[in-house]
Amino acid sequence: MADENTVTIIVKLFASFRPGRFREASRDYPAGAQVADVIADLGIDPKEIGMIFIAGKHADPDRALKTGDQLALFPLLGGG
């Protein structure tokens, strides 16, 4: 349960970030945590991040998390 020291967010992972992790999960982080902290917590190499969305809109890794945020992470794709 979120208190003033914790933020609770929904994390959605896409494509190759899913296998071995999850599709969608509610997760708690310390107040003041940023998107980059979630990426590190999930063991994702920041270099593999293609897009970051919060509530369906682009966000940056230094965005501070707020309770209720819906964070979506997509991997970098470059093949053709």
Partner 1 sequence: MTGADKAFLLSQGRDGLLTWASQVHVAETLGCSLGQVEEAALAEGLLPSRYQRNRTTFSIADQLSFRRARIAVVGCGGIGGYVVEGLARIGVGTIVVVDPDHFEESNLNRQLLCTIATLGKGKAEAAANRVAAINPAVMVAACCERLTPENGARLLGGCAAVVDALDSIEARKELRGVCDDLATPMIHGAIGGWYGQLCDAFPGDAALDRVYGCGEGPGEQTRLGNPAFTPMAAAAFQVAEVCKIITGQGKPLRGRALMLDMSEGEAEAVELVDESR
**Which chain residues interact with partner 1 by CB under 8 A?**
14-16, 18, 45-61, 63, 72, 74-80
48 contact partners, CB below 8 Å, separation of at least 6: 75, 76
Residue with Cβ nearer partner 1 (29 or 52): 52
54, 69 Cβ separation under 8 angstroms: yes
Residue with Cβ nearer partner 1 (4 or 62): 62
Q: HEC states along 35-53?
A: HHHHHHHCCCCHHHEEEEE
- Minimum CB separation of residue 69 from partner 1 in Å reads 10
- Minimum CB separation of residue 12 from partner 1 in Å reads 9
